[in-house]
Chain A
Amino acid sequence: MSDLRDMFFEECDDLLEVLSTGLEDLQNETSDAETINAMFRSVHSIKGGAGAFGLDRLIKFAHAFENVLDDLRSDKIGVDATITALMFSGFDHLSDLVDAARDDNDLPDTDGAAVLAELKQTTQNANGGVGGDDDDDANEVSSDDFEVQAMDFSFDLGGDDDGGIGELPGLPALGGGEEAVDGATHFVVKFKADPVLYTRGHDPALLFRALGEMGELSIEADRSEVAPLESLKDAPAAISWTLTLRPDDGIDESTIREIFEFVEGQCTLHISETVLEAAAGEEAAPAADAPAAPVAEAAPAAATAAPAAKAETKPAPAKAPKAEKQEAKSGDGGKKSSEPRNSTIRVDLNRVDRLINLVGELVISEAMLRQSMNELPVSANSAVSEAIGQLKTLSGVLQESVMAIRAQPVRGLFQRMSRIVRESSRQAGKTSRLVMVGEATEVDKTVTERLVEPLTHMIRNSVDHGLEKAEDRVAAGKPEMGTIKLEAAHRSGRVVISLTDDGAGVNRAKVRQKAEEKGLIRPEDDLTDSDIDNLLFRPGFSTADEISQLSGRGVGMDVVRSEIQALGGRINLQSEPGKGTTITISLPLTLAVMEGMLIEVAGESLVVPTVALRETLQPGQANIHDFCDGDRGLSVNDSMLPIVDLGEALGFRAPLPDFSNQSLLLIEGESGRRSALAVDGIVEQREVVIKGLEQNYQSIPGIAAATILGNGKIALIVDTDQMIPSPGNGNPGLRKGSELAEVNSNV
C-alpha cells in the first residue's frame, strides 16, 4: 500500500503541474476548452486518489475545486481575473494539502478555509444558489464509504409485470417440492429480460448462478412466448424465468436485489417472499409441475433452440448470445484521435541510479583496458586498437544516454516558483508576474530538486529587495507590475539558470557601506562594480534596513551560494542601476560524472575538477616570490596569487623547500578568487565518475569526493574552493589566513 501511496503523490505532482500549466494559460488567455477539461481531470484524479487513501480534507477541497472547474467548463461561470485569482489560491492550497498529506502533517484548520468557502460560494452562485448536493457528493467518496454504489434501485420493480404474486398460483416450485418441510422463508423471483439487457454485457445465467450461491435454487423457464424456430429472433428475451430460492442464513430481500442491481430498467423483476407450511410442500408438489408441462407442449420446436430450462439447484446454462470472440486488431474504435501517443514508462529511480553506476563502472573498465593496451606492443592501426577505439566511443554515448534518463525539464521547478512569486508579492505588497523561458530545458532530477530552496530564496530576495514599490516604479517610468524572469538554457555542456528582475538594481553605495561596517572589506579596497555586487553572497551580509517578513529569515545569499556550489555550480550576479538584476547559476549537467585533471602529489593520484581550472604552468623560479612568513606567491599577468602546496595542504608531506620541479595549476573559485596549486605532475584530462565519500567517511577538508581510476586505484577529487584562501571565507582545515590571503585577482 505504501508503494501505491508514493505513486499517488508522485502522480499528484504531475497532476498539479497540469493544473498549474492550465492556470498559466488561463491567465495568459491562451487557454481553450481542453485546458479546463484537463484541469478538471487533474483535480478529479487527485480527489479520486485521495478517496482511496482516506485523505478527507484533500477530498473535500478537491471536490469544491472540481465543482468550480466543472462550472467553468460548462460555461456556467466565465473566466475573469477574480476567478483566475481564486483558481491560483485554490491551486496553492491544493498543493499544500497534498504536501501535508504526503508528510502526514495536519495543516491548521484555518488554512485554506477562506478559499474553500469562496470556491463553494462560487459554485453556489453559478448554480442559482443551490449548492446542496455539495457535501453529499463529497461524502460519497469519503474513506468510510467503501460501499459499492448500486445503480439506483428506485425504479418500480416489476412495473411492467401486470401480474403480482397472486397471479402466479402454484409457481413456488420448491425444487420439486420434496424438501420444503421446514416452514422456512422462500423467495420467489420472477425475471424476464428485456432485449436490451443482452446488449449490456449481462447474462441471466450468471445472475442465476449468483442467486444460486445464496441458497438452494430451483429454476423454471417459461418459453411459451418463444417463437417457432423458423421465425426465431431474440429467443432468450422471450423467455421468462421463475426462480425459487430457499435462502441460506443472512440472506434477505436486499441481498437478492443486489444481484440484480445492474440490470435495473433492463428487465422485469418481481421478488416476493413466502413462508411455506411444513405440509404445504407435499401438496404443492404436483402443482409445481403444472406450469412446466404446458411449456413443453406449447413450444416444442423452441425446446432445442432455447436455453435449457431444467429445474435444478444450479442455474441452467442459459447463455446470452455471446458471439465468438474474434481478432479485433483493426482498431476500428472510430473515435481515434490524431494526437500522438506519448509513450513513457515510469522507472524506480534506484534502478536508474544503479544503471548509471554500472555504466560508470563500464567506462572505468574501458579506461583500464585502454591503459593496459597502451602498455602492450600493439600498433595503433591494429584491429584490436580500432575495436577499443570503438568501445570508447560507444561507452561514451552509452553514458550520455543513461544520464539523459535522469534528466527532466525544469518546468515543474519553475512552476513551483510562480507560486513563490505570487506569495512574496502579496506579502511585500507589490504586484509582479513571473515570465518563464526555456522550461523544457532538461536537468538532472537531483539538481532540480536541490534547486528549490536556493531559487525560492533568490526569488523572495528579488521581489523584496529587487523590485521597487509601485509608486517608485511609476515615477521611474516603469510599468507598475514588476517582472521576474526565470530562464533556463544549455550552454557549453552546462545548464544555466538565470533569474532577472526589472527592479532598481543593486544599490552599490549602500552595499559597500554595509560591507565596510561589517568589516568584510576595508574602506581603501579598490573594488569593481561586479566585486561589490557579489559581496551580497558573502556570509552575514544583509542590506535590508529592516528585517522583512519575506527574506529576513536569517539566511543570506551566502547560503544560496553554498547550496549552488554543493551542486558543483557557480553563481554570479550582474546588476544595472535602475534597470534590474540578473543572478546566473551555472550547473553541471549531471552530478555523477565530471571532467577532471588527473595529477600526482607525493605519490598519490588526485583529480582537480576542470571547472575550476584556468591554466597550467611550469613557472620559472623568477615568478615565485617568497614572503617572510614562509608563504609564497606567484606573479601572473601583473597580479600576485597565493601558491598552495597541495601535498602540504592535504597533509601528505612537509612543505617543499622550493617549487622548481612543481607544476602549478591556476584555479578559480566561485568567488572569482584564484590561487595556484603546486603539484608534482600532471597526468591527463579525463572524465571521472564521482563516488561520494560522505556516506562512508566524514566530510574531509579539502576533498570533495573520490573516483576510481583505470588501473583500479582510488583517486581523491580536490575541493578547489577550499584551496583558495580568501578574506571572507578563510579556508577551514587548511592553512591559516596569511597576508597573501588578501591578494585577489583584481590587484
Chain B
Amino acid sequence: MTTKILAVDDSRTMRAMIQTALTDAGFDVDLAEDGIDGLDKLGDSDPDLVITDINMPRLDGFGMIEGVRERPECASLPILVLTTESGEELKQRARTAGATGWIVKPFDAEKLVAVINRLVV
C-alpha cells in the first residue's frame, strides 16, 4: 500500500512544493491549510506520517501536534515539523508537544523523502 502523508501548511506555495516533491517520490499526499484543518482531515486521511508547519493561523503547529497525540490511534504516528524556524527553544517545544522530527525550510526534496522513509514502515 502506498504511504500516505498529510501535509499541513498555510502557504499554498509550500503545500504545492511539498505535494510535488512527495508525489514524485511515490507517496500519496493529502493537504491541509492549518492546524484545525489538519486535525479535521486526520481521520479521513488516515496518514502514515504527518508533516506540519509551525506558524499557521487558527491553530499553529504545536497545537496541531498536541491534538494529534491526544488521539489514541495516533499515539505513534510520526509527525515531522517542516518550518523556517530553527530556534532550539521552538524545537524543544515541538518535541514536548510530540513531534517526531524537525526539518528546516527550504527543504531539499531528496532529503525530505529520505527522512520520511526512515520514519514510516
Contact = CB atoms under 8 A, between A and B. Distances in A.
Interface centre among A265, A330, A337 (most CB of B within 10 A): A337
B91 to A, nearest CB: 6
Contacts of B17: 4, 52
Given A143-B106, A146-B111, A11 B13 contact: yes
Contacts of A329: 43-44
A51 B73 contact: no
Given A206-B119, A323-B75, A323-B76, A8 B13 contact: yes
Nearest to A265: B95
A337 B16 contact: no
A202 interface: yes
B59 A337 contact: yes
A259 B101 CA distance: 11
A647 interface: no
B3 interface: no
A325 interface: yes
A328 interface: yes
B104 A140 contact: yes
Contacts of B107: 146, 148
Interface string A171-215: 000000000000000000000000000111111001101100000
B101 A261 contact: yes
Given A51-B106, A149-B86, A327-B43, A199 B69 contact: yes
A52 B95 contact: no
A411 interface: no
A329 B41 CA distance: 8
Interface string B43-79: 1101001000001111100011011011111111111
Contact of A325 (B13, B40, B70, B73): B73
A731 B28 CA distance: 63
B23 interface: no
B14 A201 contact: no
A320 interface: yes
Nearest to A202: B100
B84 A149 contact: no
Contacts of A209: 118
A141 interface: yes
Contact of A146 (B78, B83, B108): B108
B14 A200 contact: no
A151 B104 contact: no
B11 A49 contact: yes
A722 interface: no
A206 B76 contact: no
Contact of B14 (A37, A48, A261, A328): A48
Interface stretch (A38-46, A223-231, A625-633): A38-46
Contact of B98 (A40, A45, A141, A199): A199
A322 interface: yes
Nearest to A205: B121
Range, interface on chain A: 35 or more
A736 B106 CA distance: 65
B105 interface: yes
Nearest to A52: B106
Given A45-B14, A52-B13, A202 B78 contact: yes
A210 B118 contact: yes
Given A202-B100, A335-B59, A48 B119 contact: no
B30 interface: no
A326 interface: yes
A636 to B, nearest CB: 58
Contacts of A207: 118
A4 B11 CA distance: 12
Given A4-B17, A38-B57, A328-B74, A48 B105 contact: yes
A627 B101 CA distance: 90
B29 interface: no
A206 B42 CA distance: 23
A65 to B, nearest CB: 13
A321 B77 CA distance: 11
Nearest to A324: B73
A335 B98 contact: no
A691 interface: no
Nearest to B111: A148
A238 B67 CA distance: 28
Given A52-B17, A332-B71, A346-B12, A337 B58 contact: yes
Interface centre among A143, A148, A198, A321 (most CB of B within 10 A): A148
A384 to B, nearest CB: 47
A4 B49 CA distance: 24
A150 B35 CA distance: 23
A48 B84 contact: yes
B115 interface: yes
B81 to A, nearest CB: 10
B105 A51 contact: yes
Nearest to B118: A210
B16 A323 contact: no
A151 B106 contact: no
Contacts of B100: 200-202, 262
26 contacts: A7-B13, A37-B57, A41-B55, A44-B84, A45-B11, A51-B84, A51-B106, A141-B84, A141-B104, A147-B108, A147-B111, A151-B95, A151-B102, A198-B76, A201-B49, A209-B118, A262-B100, A262-B119, A323-B75, A328-B46, A331-B39, A333-B39, A333-B59, A333-B64, A335-B39, A335-B64
Interface of B: 10-14, 16-17, 20, 35-37, 39-40, 42-44, 46, 49, 55-59, 63-64, 66-67, 69-79, 83-84, 86, 88, 91, 95, 98-108, 111-112, 115, 118-121
Given A45-B55, A202-B100, 5 more contacts: A8-B13, A45-B10, A45-B11, A148-B104, A339-B58
